[in-house]
Structure 1
């Protein structure tokens, strides 16, 4: 190897001598100069589990081959002189590592306090290789995470079931950014025996998929934890003829399908003994497929509890007692089977009498998604002595485009509060409400933000995080890429959530869907101005009036979106980023949002509303054709990363608007 001047290193590293690491190491000293990897580079591991050493060596080798064309030799043991050496140091703590790149003697050495620490040191080296190889910076790193559990929660049930190939690629990305836990959210999208009526036509995951994915994640150092609904969110299950009798409101099972109602109802009737049998059957059969003994029983948003079939019981003992008793029974069942239960904490933190009754040794998943989240609910759980994960969100649901601002604020603030109050883990959630219109690749910014904040929330500010995101994910050394993309969510004048609401105000018979209108009134009390909506045409007019001036901002917002698309294309064309994985999905989302904005503009004008500059909207028939043509591209991109799943539900909304525009 040879020392290389800073000037030469800068030219060979995309115009800058710097590089980005996520998460940023807690302690890093960068020395002068660079070293050049020789043609015959060897990687060896000593004193390390052979399987782990072999896997980590292959990861380094694959990245070196991709970045330089060089294919290193891989060996094991201390009698094989090597440029890159992997080992363990018992003086270091759990998940801690040390990385040294030295010019004299010329070497790269990574040691971990345990196998996981070594694994994380290797991920740091891989990120450096991807940006600077065949040159490597001289440096010394000492590093360890703030949270021992860093979890990613992925919705694979509310409309989109990813392909197994894509799930593996996502696990690869999680491993690179040092996550060590992954949960897939399941309601009806798993092929349980005896439940074919629920999962038919939904492209469900099967036992073999879970077994294979569990092995894949384990190799990467990621614990795949089972997570299924066992109490609430049984919308599809409780609409079947087989299972509807278990719900609080069986009479609602035949109502027209609704994305909005799906989020609001369908809780088990806990006074029916068969409900508990159903819940435990799901737990027992699903748990057998996983190496992990942890189990997330769900138990969030039990909105219907005590309002339907169990109302009489609720009047006797109270809803809080009913909720707590059922969760305790489920947790006890998981423990009896040798498992470690966990559950969502929204009900408990909203009802102190519930929080006091729940088991303190089961992690409470304290989900708090407000970008301006405060510390009160984190402090509340801590005050009871209960274990908790602080659970933030990537803020990508219900939209083609993610809210990167919302994601950073939510993740950063909550991660800080979790450390302050002794949380045992941090989780970032990735939901797909309203049919999962959001392409999974829209969640990359939130993933990267979480990786940094779960490791060290004080290590980076937002600007530095966006620079790192641009360099690592999109190959843009200037750092402009992420900042440009972040502007996109501010250019939405008529979003996917608006489209779903507008369509679903129809009860299927030409009247007003009271559940949808009531849900909207609950979230936005001013929307109907105190009226009880009864006429569909008038109700849709009122909805567009509530959208107000933003619907008429479409021409300005669309110019912004066009400029953002051009910026992204220019940045990625000059870098080393993943063009297929990033630009394709983002361009489709940006173009789709332009058309959605035009849809809202046309509808608002058609309703006789006014606003904006007074410019005339595009022809409705033209927008309808653009919407249909765009959606064909969207469907093909969907199928690149996802199974067919419930794409037809999304299609219904899109084509409904094409018909509205032509009517």
Structure 2
């Protein structure tokens, strides 16, 4: 809770308490220190005093919860041990009482928002006298949490509800230790589907251990769906020419990870490119003939080109057989009844080999027919099809031709996004999930400000037009140079907004909350410092790749004024942010603080070097001589090259702690080519 926030204690006839205000900041030793819950609950009553966890306690988890391996109970026991040093047990049944009880209790009464108007003030524990309209609820995911003098009870509407209540309790334990605030919480999610979409194909394939770590983070913030984006990085039988050298995921990885997610209340939904974005597959000797432009298959690899030319020639019936083969082989590894065929950004459709067909029936009809066939193929196997909605929105007539059962994933990454495309899908009657982004692609540092605006607006529009849920995307364009830990703040913003859109109205407030809950940073400065570091980016990874792959001579000139004028201030900001991040994480008690600290430092130092590369390029004339008219700042090319190579070693070592080797060599190649260019300049 914030320093200016108070929680309301409402009058209850059973305890004869009167209406009063409890300050968020402790006034005496009976109060706990400030704490936050993410996502923020709908209603929270904060009573006086603290509840001390007993030395030898137990968590009693009812078998009715459906947690056969008692994962939820173990999450609590592990957090209690890690935070307090106390060793607790777990049990079940009415003969083995526990100080913490996990149970299913249906129905649960949860306070509903005062109005459906998403622009009205939200009811939160931070708005003391907000009206409450009790609504009997069996909403999946709903829960109550009671922390009293005599014990703690989490009661959920179902397994997911108990899971969600446990995550709230875990956050409190992590912040307050053995002295917990006495609370009564009633809560439920706004969106049934609260998902995350992780790119594991465009350069970085995570280790299975890191995927499990990520699932644990998603669980802590009550996310209930995860999709892994796959193009060529899965070891399909008979397609080794496509996935060779990519450190692909294998069936065993998916089976193990699917179990791990399910035990934590996360549905792992299969997602494979089946139409567009088949760049690596369509460059092989075996499959190149199925592309719209097979003659381009032998062109040198390029990060930019990978995003452009990769569409199946669906005029060839063998294309449909390939798509079905990918679907049929992959879906058998998942327990989910959903399947995402992707089918986005089919840029080349009707422009190459299939041009005669496009001239006869039109590109929109071609697209609608193909994805409909894929959807029918899935439905015949009892699966619910999902697909990206961008092409259908470019050709709105497609919307009326799609199967009713398909769910459109409506992605829009504009930080100032309006409701136009979401309204269009809603008016068509199609089911949709809104998809903003964490804004980490093509960069060493995350664009947290853009993520905040994009996610909050999409959540608001999704609520307004009754979307089924929100799926926050995390992409790795241009080699996935962005360390996965850079996406954590954006993921948490997405978790907050998919659970309770608009309840935290201020970005600065949200970033302080994330700093406290995720990183154990009592000062709340860590995530704001990370956001500030990104604002000091003058020459980014995307600029570097564009310069190397296109040789754009205008790039340096276009950047020159801003880089030269702003370099000193940006470099000072990056140094200061590096110090703040290091200090905050040094004081953190979180398990992965050291790895996070290293990842942040490497990213900030890498951006300082990229700014220097941009400065040197900006100050060079076409003949290669320094242009001293711009500035007195001098960047020695040889010294910069050596610094880049040294940085790359640290970056590579950190890459390998969370990712397989995958395409690390391509990232290294970018740095080495840059170092060579700096020495020559």
TM-score of the pair, normalised by structure 1: 0.91
The aligned runs of 1:197-596 (5 Å cut-off) are 197-461=241-505, 462-505=507-550, 540-552=552-564, 553-577=566-590, 578-596=592-610
Distance 1:613 1:130, change over 3 A: farther
Equivalent position SS for 1:142: strand
Distance 1:140 1:259, change over 3 A: same
Q: Which residue of 1 aligns with 2:5?
A: none
Distance 1:612 1:594, change over 3 A: farther
Distance 1:445 1:613, change over 3 A: farther
How far off its partner does 1:46 sit? 2.9
Could you report, residue by residue, the CA deviation over 1:213-256 in whole angstroms, capped at 9, with x for unpaired residues? 11111111111000000000000000000000000000000001
Q: State the alpha-carbon separation in 1 of the partners of residues 629 and 286 from structure 2.
A: 52
Q: Answer yes or no: is the 8 Å Cα contact 1:177–1:448 preserved in 2.
A: yes
Q: Which residue of 2 aligns with 1:532?
A: none
Q: State the alpha-carbon separation in 2 of the partners of residues 162 and 446 from structure 1.
A: 18
Q: Which residue of 1 aligns with 2:14?
A: none
Distance 1:53 1:337, change over 3 A: closer
1:654 pairs with 2:668: no
Equivalent position SS for 1:648: helix
Q: State the alpha-carbon separation in 1 of the partners of residues 243 and 464 from structure 2.
A: 43
1:623 pairs with 2:637: no
How far off its partner does 1:48 sit? 2.1
Q: State the alpha-carbon separation in 2 of the partners of residues 8 and 136 from structure 1.
A: 14
Q: Which has the higher helix share?
A: 1
Equivalent position SS for 2:49: strand
Among 623, 631, 651, the alignment partner of 1:614 is 631
Could you report, residue by residue, the CA deviation over 1:535-579 in whole angstroms, capped at 9, with x for unpaired residues? xxxxx3212112232222223211110000111112222332442
Q: Which residue of 2 aligns with 1:511?
A: none
How far off its partner does 1:655 sit? 0.6
Q: State the alpha-carbon separation in 1 of the partners of residues 26 and 539 from structure 2.
A: 47
Q: Answer yes or no: is the 8 Å Cα contact 2:216–2:264 preserved in 1.
A: yes
1:41 pairs with 2:85: no
Among 144, 151, 157, the alignment partner of 1:107 is 151
1:55 pairs with 2:71: yes
Q: Which residue of 2 aligns with 1:513?
A: none
Equivalent position SS for 2:182: strand
Q: State the alpha-carbon separation in 1 of the partners of residues 612 and 143 from structure 2.
A: 52
Could you report, residue by residue, the CA deviation over 1:101-122 in whole angstroms, capped at 9, with x for unpaired residues? 012xx11111011111011000
Equivalent position SS for 1:289: coil
Q: Which residue of 1 aligns with 2:17?
A: none
Distance 1:336 1:12, change over 3 A: farther
Q: State the alpha-carbon separation in 2 of the partners of residues 58 and 361 from structure 1.
A: 38
Q: Which residue of 2 aligns with 1:602?
A: 616
Q: Answer yes or no: is the 8 Å Cα contact 1:37–1:135 preserved in 2.
A: yes
- How many residues matched? 623
Deviates more, 1:493-502 or 1:476-485: 476-485
Q: State the alpha-carbon separation in 2 of the partners of residues 326 and 8 from structure 1.
A: 59
Q: State the alpha-carbon separation in 1 of the partners of residues 104 and 629 from structure 2.
A: 64
How far off its partner does 1:617 sit? 2.5
5+ unaligned residues in a row in structure 2: which ranges? 1-21, 109-137
Q: Answer yes or no: is the 8 Å Cα contact 2:312–2:319 preserved in 1.
A: yes
Q: State the alpha-carbon separation in 1 of the partners of residues 467 and 474 from structure 2.
A: 20
Equivalent position SS for 2:668: helix
Equivalent position SS for 2:509: helix
